[in-house]
Amino acid sequence: MARRLARRAVLRGATVLGLGAALPAIVLARPAAAAGADLGFEELRKGLDERHHVAGGYRASPLLRWGDPVVAGAPPFDPFNQSAAAQELQFGYNCDYTAFLPLPRGSAASDRGLLAVNHETTNAGLIFPKAALRRDGLTRAQVGIELAAHGLSIVEIRRDGSGAWQPVLGGPLNRRITMGTEFRIAGPAAGHERLRTGADPSGRRVIGTLNNCAGGVTPWGTVLSAEENFDDYFSGHASASPEAENHRRIGIRGEPQYPDWGQHFARFDVAREPNEPNRFGWIVEIDPYDPRSVPVKRTALGRFKHEGAATILNKDGRVVVYSGDDERFEYVYRFVSAGRFDPAAPAANAELLDSGVLSVARFEEDGRLVWLPLVFGEGPLTPANGFKNQADVLIEARHAADLLGATPMDRPEDIEPNPATGTVFASFTGNSKRKPAQVDAANPRPKNEFGHILELVPPGGRGAEADHAAEVFRWEVFLLAGDPAKDHHAFYPSAVGADGWLVNPDNLVADPQGRLWIASDGAGSSGFADGLWATAVEGPARGRPRHFFRVPVGAELTGPSFTPDGSTLFASVQHPGQGSGFDTPSTRWPDFDAGMPPRPSVVAITREDGGPIA
């Protein structure tokens, strides 16, 4: 770490030293701009209690709660009388990624739009009363409710006369996408024999999407949703199947987090359907403006535990998608489309994500980031190593990345490009299993309990001039999370206050000015609630987080996103009350009604005077 920081200081003070041939031609010392602007809010104190809290001068109002009616005809939420049929029409559980899509399509409206929200997981102990839970597991009907609570919600929202946001319940574009929704499979793996099952001998259609974590929005206005820990849903063993090693590498070992799914539905038992897991772990694309459209799983972007799918339009018109594989010692990926975005040809853009090159990152000691293409027939990706075609490479992207020598990271989370600066920020939540002998330049701490953030710098220049398709980037440590006053080996580029230091960075988003907003996942182990921090990325306040919002006990803050004008920040409060139960929860947020359990919800955060956030 000392060598990396010394190198950083030298590079910022010199333009030569013989390093030009090794590093991309970029400006190393960038002037402060909007991305270095003052944050303009009084920092929130850390704490831990049953309520949410936001910085002074702001309002944080629950907008959409688990069980709220979404689709026309949805019944009112009754936690004591749930059904899969009702949940199919209601807002799902454990909301995660959010994306605001202006209405009408193609506009920059910030007072009316669609909110697309992922529903990542379910917590049976908080969904069902204790009296309804059996010792031998969930009933088929209860699993059906869980199936319906996964997926996505698309809901029209608008500001009312007072400036407050309201959902348009039953709006014509509102939609629930669940484990009962049909998806089309597209790209190089579509129709491949390893994606065929008894229910789908074509290998081209699959029912449902699950464990949808973070995501992104394409330049043509569709939503990308990332299937993450899909292995948690598959039980059984397929030791005699050709897929046995593939299952092991992705984490399917017969001890799922959701064992009842395979008991009641054969497709989740790999002993009966060994190919079913190959139909999950993809990036899915959804057109939120067309409720009749069939969602698509885009196999060209690879199969692994996607944390997100953040997009940016490269200067040559190609579309670039960044994604992390959220597990210890896994990798950072980038997809570059073969075709170019054409705003005048929406039909052609619809297939841009089916053809291109998926690459994996290798972080070099000297500060270079080399992108290694996952292309069948190149290097070790040949029949000698078990790959018969490009579909095999994409289905087993982890195995392909292993062979290419990618850098194993400390749980890659969000990988978010910043349009204002042209750089990319990558968060790593932590890796308590990294041993001293496994430390490297990009993962500089053994037993990394607090996580860190790297900045990835493409060549070519600032903002829209950056070349996100380049083979070689530069990388730097942005911050090493933890308490700088303790023996955490924390690092912040600027002095950080007692409420500003953070742990376990997870979701990231750049606001319209280019400042970075950081959500945490795991702060409870340090004695304070998870929440949201913001920091400048340039200038004297670069890397100095300031605490803005905190969630109630047991919860995690996920999916922050902004309206185009920056006047509203949406975020999800996921699993409030986790660690307790339906009957005696540690919080009854957000209703605080004795007849209601805690409810995962999206909050809308606005400034009291109506101005832009921060």
If you average pLDDT over residues 16-44, what whole number do you get? Answer: 53
pLDDT range class, residue 240, cuts 50, 70, 90: confident
Is residue 30 over pLDDT 50?
A: no
- pLDDT at 11 (0 to 100): 37
Strand 205-207 and strand 182-186: the pairing is antiparallel
Q: Compute CA distances 429 → 2, 72, 238, 348, 459, whole Å.
A: 22, 39, 32, 37, 27
Name which of 436, 373, 144 is nearest 264 in CA terms.
144
- pLDDT at 38 (0 to 100): 80
Is residue 391 over pLDDT 80?
A: yes
DSSP state of 565: T
If you average pLDDT over residues 245-253, what whole number do you get? Answer: 96
**How confident is the prediction for the chain on average, in pLDDT?**
94
pLDDT range class, residue 332, cuts 50, 70, 90: very high
pLDDT range class, residue 9, cuts 50, 70, 90: very low
Q: Which residue has the tokens 């539905």?
A: 265
If you average pLDDT over residues 493-518, what whole number do you get? Answer: 96
Is residue 308 over pLDDT 70?
A: yes
DSSP state of 416: E
Domain boundaries, the chain: 2-26+45-228+281-439+447-607
Beta bridge partners of 137: 134
pLDDT tens profile 289-304: 999 999 999 999 999 9
- CATH code of 2-26+45-228+281-439+447-607, in short, is 2.120.10.30
- Classified as helix, coil or strand, 349 is helix
pLDDT range class, residue 525, cuts 50, 70, 90: confident
Helix ranges, 364-483 (H)? 390-395, 397-404
pLDDT tens profile 360-388: 999 999 999 999 999 999 999 999 999 99
Note whether 372 and 364 are within 8 A (CB): no
* CB neighbours of residue 471 within 10 Å: 13
- pLDDT at 5 (0 to 100): 54
- pLDDT at 20 (0 to 100): 29
- pLDDT at 2 (0 to 100): 55
If you average pLDDT over residues 588-612, what whole number do you get? Answer: 97
Is residue 575 over pLDDT 60?
A: yes
Note whether 584 and 597 are within 8 A (CB): no
Note whether 492 and 501 are within 8 A (CB): yes
CA separation for the pair 81, 487 (Å, rounded): 51
- pLDDT at 499 (0 to 100): 97
* CB neighbours of residue 581 within 10 Å: 17
225: left (phi over 0), alpha (psi -120 to 50) or beta: beta
Is residue 22 over pLDDT 70?
A: no
pLDDT range class, residue 219, cuts 50, 70, 90: very high
CA separation for the pair 204, 99 (Å, rounded): 28
CA separation for the pair 390, 369 (Å, rounded): 24
pLDDT tens profile 186-209: 999 999 999 999 999 999 999 999
